[in-house]
Amino acid sequence: MRFFHIVCGVCFLFLVGPTQADTWRKVTLKLDISAGALVGSSVGVDGVKIPIVINAPELKKSEHAEDTGYIDFRYGAFIPIGSGWLPSLQSGDLGWSVEVVTPPDFVTVPFPDGEIIETSYENITRFNVPKLASAPLVIGRFHIAELEADGITIRTFFSSANSKLAKGFLESADEAIGALSARIGPYPYSAFSIVESPLPVGLGFPGFTLVSARILPMPFMKGRSLWHEISHVWWGNGVFVDYAKGNWAEGFAVFFADYALASRKSENAARDMRLDWLLEFDALPPEKRFPLRQFVTKSHGQAQAIGYGKAAMVLQMLERKIGAQVFDNCVKKFWNDWKFQKVGWLEIENTFSECSGSDLSSFFKRWLDDPGAARADLTDQDFLTFRHLAPAERVSTLRLFLSASLLEPQFLGGVIDNRIGIEKALKTVGNVGAGGLPIFVGTRQDIAKLVIDLPPEAGSGIWASRLRNGGGDVIAISSTNSREAISLIMRSHHYGRYSWVIPQKNGRAKTGRWNG
Ligand SMILES: [Zn+2]
């Protein structure tokens, strides 16, 4: 049965049992928006009260708000984990029991679940954070929509501008949680929230995901991206990552969300995704390759090809090696044995070896410790092995643009007025300077004289190609309007796997790869 309601009182008592409830460190905070501060205290089991005062700048005055946080009259607050809003625990503490009070225009996002009490003069949010489940504190001028599905409260915390998107997100999250629960094991918390953020983020935390307001309306957000973040509730925020032993959770999230969705669509779509992982790795210069076991985060270099693509490919190969049925059983066992604990690749190897009854040590050693890929193999036309591509299998994609270390804009025909704006936009992709990857900006006709590929669709767009007469790689932006060209550059961040993107009037985009 489904129904909408305002307050959810389901809490962590189910997980920990009421007898241990007194070992949660109490954290009480009040938002003073005009002072730009969160003020309160924490009390541990010893009864000693420690004051907490957190100040943060307004959003527009904070250059790296993701790290420093903000407290802002317009947007509310974002308080990172490192700010100390959750004070250190003493041994034996289960976590933090949090209460946040805000003025009535603001709401605090509870996680991984909790309750919100709204009154005419203040809003109170209460939730218990288990010790491994820490996350940022998020407060905003949110409209809350709710869907109760199979005992899980799914909520959206959106601004009024985006509140019309809530229904679609709630339904999509419900579907993802159902599918992932069936495949892995029951969803580990009693709530899940999708939270809009003015920051350029897409991050998964225990029981919630933060999504940038700018990309929230994009069609892929409530599909593939939402599934990916929801699968992190199991992989990374349910079974936790022991970062010192490598971050396995991205590969799991890609495999159980992005790849599962592609496989559900068609075998062809799954094959295309495997090819994409190989293309991405193949484009990495040898000095940027490192063993998968050493992957920690994609924020440095092009590590995504390893920590996401290669890791997902290893799971795909493991599934074929031990058989889909055995693989699924082992996934359930891994979840069941390790939830709410920190693990590394070794625990994964041991669980799968034991559960499948086969020694998988050489398999894991090869794919986790060898920085390379298998040799190109033209008999593997379904891209089932993590391997290099033969020259004939390579395709130019916009990844070329997104991973270039230096970009050099070249304005064809002198039709662009705001060159500085375009250079600024290019700086969100990479460094700009002479001798970099050529970025042609001009009309389709002018570009056609210089490059070998043209998208099959007419209209302004961006694509990756090669120069005529055996020349090198190039990015083409067909537009004579600098605002449009800037928007094409900004959009390309989401389309690295495609050769060309032609945005349509309805806000969607036509995309494709040169080899179909
Ligand atoms: Zn992820």
Q: Please give the backbone phi and psi of residue 94, each rounded to the nearest 5 degrees, phi first.
A: -80, -20
- Per DSSP, 331 falls in state H
Question: Cα(460) to centroid of ligand 1, in Å?
Answer: 31
Question: Cα(173) to centroid of ligand 1, in Å?
Answer: 16
Instruction: Report which of residues 78 and 395 the model is more confident about.
Output: 78
Question: Cα(235) to centroid of ligand 1, in Å?
Answer: 9
Structural contact between residues 309 and 254, judged by C-beta atoms closer than 8 angstroms: yes
Which pLDDT score is estimated for 259? 98
Given a cut of 70, is residue 15 above it in pLDDT?
no
Query: Of how many residues is the chain composed?
Result: 516
Question: Cα(229) to centroid of ligand 1, in Å?
Answer: 6
Given a cut of 70, is residue 248 above it in pLDDT?
yes
**Residue 491: both structure tokens together:** 């959009």
Domains of the chain, first to last: 13-237 (3.30.2010.30), 243-393 (1.10.390.10), 399-512 (3.30.379)
In whole angstroms, what separates CA 213 from the centre of its chain? 14
Given a cut of 60, is residue 300 above it in pLDDT?
no
Given a cut of 60, is residue 3 above it in pLDDT?
no
Number of C-beta neighbours around residue 268 at 10 A: 9
Question: Cα(373) to centroid of ligand 1, in Å?
Answer: 22
Q: How far apart are CA 123 and CA 107, in angstroms?
A: 6
Structural contact between residues 94 and 20, judged by C-beta atoms closer than 8 angstroms: yes
* Residue appearing with tokens 């190039």: 474
**Residue 87: both structure tokens together:** 């004070």
Which pLDDT score is estimated for 220? 82
When pLDDT is cut at 50, 70 and 90, the band that residue 140 belongs to is: very high
What residues pair up with 510 in beta bridges, in sequence order?
A: 502
- Per DSSP, 467 falls in state B
Question: Cα(436) to centroid of ligand 1, in Å?
Answer: 30
What residues pair up with 432 in beta bridges, in sequence order?
A: 407
Structural contact between residues 120 and 143, judged by C-beta atoms closer than 8 angstroms: no
Which pLDDT score is estimated for 414? 66
Question: Cα(239) to centroid of ligand 1, in Å?
Answer: 14
Given a cut of 60, is residue 21 above it in pLDDT?
no
**Residue 466: both structure tokens together:** 């090669």
CA trace torsion 343, 348, 354, 360 (10° rounding): -140
Question: Cα(254) to centroid of ligand 1, in Å?
Answer: 7
**Residue 353: both structure tokens together:** 């070896």
Instruction: Report which of residues 508 and 80 the model is more confident about.
Output: 80
Given a cut of 90, is residue 492 above it in pLDDT?
no
Number of C-beta neighbours around residue 379 at 10 A: 6
Question: Cα(39) to centroid of ligand 1, in Å?
Answer: 33
Question: Cα(441) to centroid of ligand 1, in Å?
Answer: 33
Which pTM was predicted? 0.82
- 406-422 pLDDT per residue, tens: 999 999 976 677 889 99
Question: Cα(178) to centroid of ligand 1, in Å?
Answer: 19
Question: Cα(300) to centroid of ligand 1, in Å?
Answer: 15
Question: Cα(297) to centroid of ligand 1, in Å?
Answer: 10
DSSP string of 379-413? T-TT--S-BPPPGGG----THHHHT-SEEEEEEST
Which pLDDT score is estimated for 67? 87
Number of C-beta neighbours around residue 323 at 10 A: 11
Question: Cα(251) to centroid of ligand 1, in Å?
Answer: 8
When pLDDT is cut at 50, 70 and 90, the band that residue 107 belongs to is: very high
* Angle at which helices 324-338 and 166-184 cross, to 10°: 100
Given a cut of 50, is residue 185 above it in pLDDT?
yes
